[in-house]
Structure 1
Amino acid sequence: MSEQPQSSQERPGELDEELQREIDEALGGHSLEELLEETARPLPEPPGRPSQRVRPGAIVRCRVVGIDRDAVLVELGGKDQGLVPLAQFEADPQVGELFQLEVVRYDAAEDLWVLSREGAVERATWDDLAEGAVVEAFVERANKGGLEVRFGGVQAFMPISQISLYRVEDPAEYVGQKLRCQVIEVDRRERRVIVSARALMELEAQQRREALLAELAEGDVRQGVVRQIMPYGVFVDLGGVDGLVHVSQMSYARVENPADLVQLGQTVEVQVLRIDPDTGRISLGMKQTQADPWETVEVKYPLGAVVTGRVTKLERFGAFVELEPGVEALIPISELSWTARPRHAGEVLQVGQTVQPLVLEIDLERRRIALSLKQAQANPWAGAAHKYPRQSEQSGRVTRAVDFGAFVELEPGVEGLVHISELSDQHVRRVEDVVQVGQTVRVRVLSVDEPNRRISLSMRGVLQGDSVAPAEETKPRKKRKRPLRGGLD
């Protein structure tokens, strides 16, 4: 949009009162635009000053000598002076500035030439116009197909696909603006001109890209603008060159959706991680410009400390726990519980659950922390040898039956093994012939290995509440004779 013209008091080269009266009398109460619209007819040369150079239709070089509210007073050379409408200038001219103007007609009564800038600009523009020329166009109107623009009196069209490097939803937003563009088609016979702002943007972007790539180095920290957001990361414009910030490089914290962290058009600070010399692709990182939370891990989460975290992911091998944004640790499945024997961490915990595990190990180089949920609780094996002395009789519940014996839970988290040879005074072929899972039995403690969490038990010679004895052996089935002839049994 053009700037608003200054008042006559503020504009340099303002006319004095006498000259102002002269111009007003010359215009005779009409605007200069109205005078230009009058039909030009052959007029005699100024009396006493014939000129072969200044005549209607000629393009002459003029110097600005004064500026009024509506008109600009210029010198044509020698003693010739003229007026040109101020509205025909895109910006206020300065006293002493030179312009190419078209002579419209001569006002003999006032001894002034009436001039026009638009005719001179249009003629000069059409004479010099060529494909590839760069012009500054004013957007006058918009339609579904694009923009109607004007530069130097030449009407041109800009297709909607040529307005920007990016998709344009509403071309009407550009009405009233000035766009630098490139002439991509000229048809003088049809007086048709096609221009493209995009072509110029691409050319300038390539020039900026080449210049930026020449000075860009890995490790540089730059400011950029988010241009595109994808599930795998965001593209950032560094000023003519786009680079990719992969989702894993956006933050030290886990990022599920890049759109949760940045917005289109947002200015971000990035570090150049890698430049591929063959493809020109640039890998960027955002988290590298932020404080690394792992630098203070050993201070915040010392070994043996009980910490608070949130369960973020459950796997067969354990549960991931976020201690703070960017710091995740693992509870191995064997460290989830003293009592349960889960096959999957989801049998014990839920995503989003808050837990208070104990820190087992920290590996700063590999950025790993091992936690234990069960060791943050009381150890049921502590003092087991004292609690279950040898040859003492105890009650327990059968939890598992395997080929070699039965496991008996003496208390939550403490199990002992009754070997198959210790199930009964009689010979036992199958464990299930003597005990069943869930059954309560009486056992005698044979030995306790507290460090290795093992207890050997026996049911031999121990009086049971309900008589426990091996089931009677079933007689072996007779072998079937060979089938009768004819296929009948």
Structure 2
Amino acid sequence: MSEEMNMMENRDFQVGDRVKGTVLKIEEKAVTVTIDGAPFDGVIPISELSSLHIEKASDSVQEGDTLDLVITKVEEENFVLSKRKVDAEQAWDDLEKKFESGEIIEAEVKDVVKGGLVIDLGVRGFVPASLVEDYFVESFEDYKGKTMTFKIVEMEKENNRLILSHRAVVELEKESQKEEVMDSIHPGDVLKGKVQRIASFGAFVDIGGVDGLVHISQLSHEHVEKVSDVVKEGQDVTVKVLSVDRDSERISLSIKDTLPGPWDAIEEKAPKGSVHTGKVKRLVSYGAFVEVLPGVEGLVHISQIAHKHIATPHEVLTEGQEVQVKVLDVNKTDKRLSLSIKELQEKEAEQDYSDYEMPEESSGFSISDVIGDKLKGFKSE
């Protein structure tokens, strides 16, 4: 065939033309294809096979595959072709629609590189390390070959820039889950949870995708100085829902309300007649409140403090003082204990003159006679 005839046949195939080619031969760094209607074959360099780096051409295509290609160069009796550019053109159009709609994309992690993950979506997509998960990841080695979900967060076709995020998908799922949980829980519900983090004012507990706050006052029936004295991060706990504010997405929880109260079984813990060592918590005009068990205070009425008459409890007691008390009465319904201190103290002996007898009249002595001699000693001479 003359050179003139070849040039005439090649006029229908120009740089930029889209053609279909069938893989005829695969070499390590190039692929030879036959092109429908073309007078000679074309070559696809390995760099034009995929948007990703590949070591061998056979990693991307197989003999007999039919490929969509674009002519990048017309040489004498040869075409230089690109599969990558066709794939990219089609991919960008599709990805642009997904970006605008916020669609979630499922894809396999093709490679792990410094700083993140590489995804093949027809064009090279990159997931920065900070956008892989919503928590810190030490190593991404196990991510290669893993199928994951992503959202496009940045794309610039002209700069061949495509940034993806799996973290955005995770956060979206958690937000959806949070709404479901918020709608499903109600005050009074008792739930299982895990302590996520501790603050000076309380503990945040995960109750199934949403955190609720257990205020320090709701940790225990006893007074709590430090939250960490009662709960630890990662600890499994049972909580009661106190309130749900859907507008501010705040949930108030209580651990205390799931625990036996200090007055439960009080008749067994402090039965009538039992003796306890307690601490004076408060002094009032009518008596003293003494804590006999954690969270349980009883009243020692002023009349039960001492055998002798006292005007105020402050005469014999001080706040913080340890005392022994006897239980006089138990009222679980009203949460009242009547206590006594004086019943545990010996009554001071009072002077008793009943055994003394006055001298009989027949004796002729009077009181003055009996003590008269004594008085004489006090008279001045």
- TM-score, scaled relative to structure 1: 0.47
Q: Mapping of 1:14-93 within 5 angstroms?
A: 38-44=28-34
Q: Is the 8 A contact 2:26 2:58 kept in 1?
A: no
1:228 Cα deviation after fit:
2.2
1:303 Cα deviation after fit:
2.6
Instruction: Determine the structure 2 residue equivalent to 1:246.
Output: 215
One of 293, 299, 307 as aligned partner of 1:323: 293
Once the two structures are superposed, residues 36-84 of structure 1 have per-residue CA deviations (whole angstroms, 9 ceiling, x without a partner) of 7822243447xxx999xxx987xxxxxxxxxxxxxxxxxxxxxxxxx97
Alpha-carbon distance in structure 1 between the residues aligned to 2:165 and 2:329: 63
Q: Is the 8 A contact 2:202 2:227 kept in 1?
A: yes
Please tell me whether residue 344 in structure 1 is matched to residue 301 in structure 2: no
Instruction: Determine the structure 1 residue equivalent to 2:363.
Output: none
Alpha-carbon distance in structure 1 between the residues aligned to 2:246 and 2:327: 45
Alpha-carbon distance in structure 2 between the residues aligned to 1:337 and 1:270: 45
Q: Is the 8 A contact 1:180 1:197 kept in 2?
A: yes
Alpha-carbon distance in structure 2 between the residues aligned to 1:56 and 1:369: 98
Q: Mapping of 1:230-241 within 5 angstroms?
A: 230-241=199-210
1:185 Cα deviation after fit:
1.2
2:171 aligns to what SS in structure 1?
helix
Once the two structures are superposed, residues 363-385 of structure 1 have per-residue CA deviations (whole angstroms, 9 ceiling, x without a partner) of 4345444544x23522425x64x
Count of residues in correspondence between the two structures: 284
Please tell me whether residue 265 in structure 1 is matched to residue 234 in structure 2: yes
One of 140, 158, 167 as aligned partner of 2:112: 140
One of 228, 243, 249 as aligned partner of 1:274: 243
Q: Is the 8 A contact 2:213 2:251 kept in 1?
A: yes
Q: Is the 8 A contact 2:151 2:164 kept in 1?
A: yes
Once the two structures are superposed, residues 342-400 of structure 1 have per-residue CA deviations (whole angstroms, 9 ceiling, x without a partner) of 56324x44xxxxx642224544345444544x23522425x64xx444899xxxxxxxx
Cα distance change of structure 1 residues 38 and 229 upon mapping to structure 2, 3 Å threshold: same
Cα distance change of structure 1 residues 196 and 332 upon mapping to structure 2, 3 Å threshold: farther
Instruction: Determine the structure 1 residue equivalent to 2:128.
Output: 158
Alpha-carbon distance in structure 1 between the residues aligned to 2:104 and 2:293: 58
Cα distance change of structure 1 residues 195 and 332 upon mapping to structure 2, 3 Å threshold: farther
Please tell me whether residue 203 in structure 1 is matched to residue 177 in structure 2: no
Q: Is the 8 A contact 1:333 1:344 kept in 2?
A: no
RMSD between aligned alpha carbons? 4.5
Instruction: Determine the structure 2 residue equivalent to 1:190.
Output: 159
Cα distance change of structure 1 residues 208 and 302 upon mapping to structure 2, 3 Å threshold: same
Once the two structures are superposed, residues 252-285 of structure 1 have per-residue CA deviations (whole angstroms, 9 ceiling, x without a partner) of 3433322222222223222222223553422222
1:176 aligns to what SS in structure 2?
helix
Once the two structures are superposed, residues 230-268 of structure 1 have per-residue CA deviations (whole angstroms, 9 ceiling, x without a partner) of 222212222222222222322334333222222222232
Cα distance change of structure 1 residues 214 and 260 upon mapping to structure 2, 3 Å threshold: same
Alpha-carbon distance in structure 2 between the residues aligned to 1:258 and 1:291: 19
2:173 aligns to what SS in structure 1?
helix
Cα distance change of structure 1 residues 37 and 171 upon mapping to structure 2, 3 Å threshold: farther
Instruction: Determine the structure 2 residue equivalent to 1:32.
Output: none
Q: Is the 8 A contact 2:281 2:291 kept in 1?
A: no
1:119 Cα deviation after fit:
6.9
Q: Is the 8 A contact 1:333 1:345 kept in 2?
A: no
Please tell me whether residue 377 in structure 1 is matched to residue 344 in structure 2: yes
Alpha-carbon distance in structure 1 between the residues aligned to 2:58 and 2:334: 77
Q: Is the 8 A contact 1:233 1:258 kept in 2?
A: yes
Once the two structures are superposed, residues 266-309 of structure 1 have per-residue CA deviations (whole angstroms, 9 ceiling, x without a partner) of 23222222223553422222233333452311232123321355
Alpha-carbon distance in structure 2 between the residues aligned to 1:337 and 1:120: 101
1:229 Cα deviation after fit:
1.4
Q: Percent identity?
A: 28
Q: Is the 8 A contact 1:141 1:149 kept in 2?
A: yes
Alpha-carbon distance in structure 2 between the residues aligned to 1:163 and 1:259: 32
Alpha-carbon distance in structure 2 between the residues aligned to 1:272 and 1:150: 44
Cα distance change of structure 1 residues 214 and 151 upon mapping to structure 2, 3 Å threshold: same
Cα distance change of structure 1 residues 289 and 126 upon mapping to structure 2, 3 Å threshold: farther
Q: Is the 8 A contact 1:182 1:196 kept in 2?
A: yes
Alpha-carbon distance in structure 1 between the residues aligned to 2:160 and 2:255: 52
1:329 aligns to what SS in structure 2?
strand
- Which one-letter code corresponds to 1:39 in the other structure? K
Alpha-carbon distance in structure 1 between the residues aligned to 2:86 and 2:337: 74
Please tell me whether residue 359 in structure 1 is matched to residue 327 in structure 2: yes
2:345 aligns to what SS in structure 1?
coil
Once the two structures are superposed, residues 438-470 of structure 1 have per-residue CA deviations (whole angstroms, 9 ceiling, x without a partner) of xxxxxxxxxxxxxxxxxxxxxxxxx99xx9xxx
- Which one-letter code corresponds to 2:112 in the other structure? E
1:148 Cα deviation after fit:
1.0
Cα distance change of structure 1 residues 105 and 256 upon mapping to structure 2, 3 Å threshold: same
Alpha-carbon distance in structure 2 between the residues aligned to 1:121 and 1:305: 92
Structure number with higher relative contact order (C-alpha < 8 Å, ≥ 6 residues apart): 2
Alpha-carbon distance in structure 1 between the residues aligned to 2:182 and 2:225: 31
1:284 aligns to what SS in structure 2?
strand
Cα distance change of structure 1 residues 378 and 343 upon mapping to structure 2, 3 Å threshold: closer
Q: Is the 8 A contact 1:135 1:151 kept in 2?
A: no
Q: Is the 8 A contact 1:141 1:175 kept in 2?
A: no
1:209 aligns to what SS in structure 2?
helix
Instruction: Determine the structure 1 residue equivalent to 2:265.
Output: 296
Q: Is the 8 A contact 1:361 1:370 kept in 2?
A: yes
Q: Is the 8 A contact 1:225 1:266 kept in 2?
A: yes
One of 208, 231, 256 as aligned partner of 1:287: 256
1:294 aligns to what SS in structure 2?
coil
- TM-score, scaled relative to structure 2: 0.58
More deviation, 124-133/203-212:
124-133
